[in-house]
Amino acid sequence: MPVARGADGLREAVLRGLSIRPKRTPPFLLYDRLGSILFDAICEVPEYYL
């Protein structure tokens, strides 16, 4: 699912996720700003993909 931008993008992403089976929500809803920064940093570590 692409990253939503702004309130309209957020609404569209949530509606799209709830209209499919199995239902899902965009992963970015799970993180605040700091959490997103930490997740991005973790994904840069080569060991993350082992």
What are the pLDDT tens digits along the chain (50 aa)? 455 567 788 899 899 999 999 999 988 888 888 998 998 999 999 998 87
pTM of the model: 0.51
Tally the C-alpha atoms within 13 A of residue 48's C-alpha that lie toward its C-beta: 9
The dihedral of CA 10, 14, 15, 17: what is its sign? positive
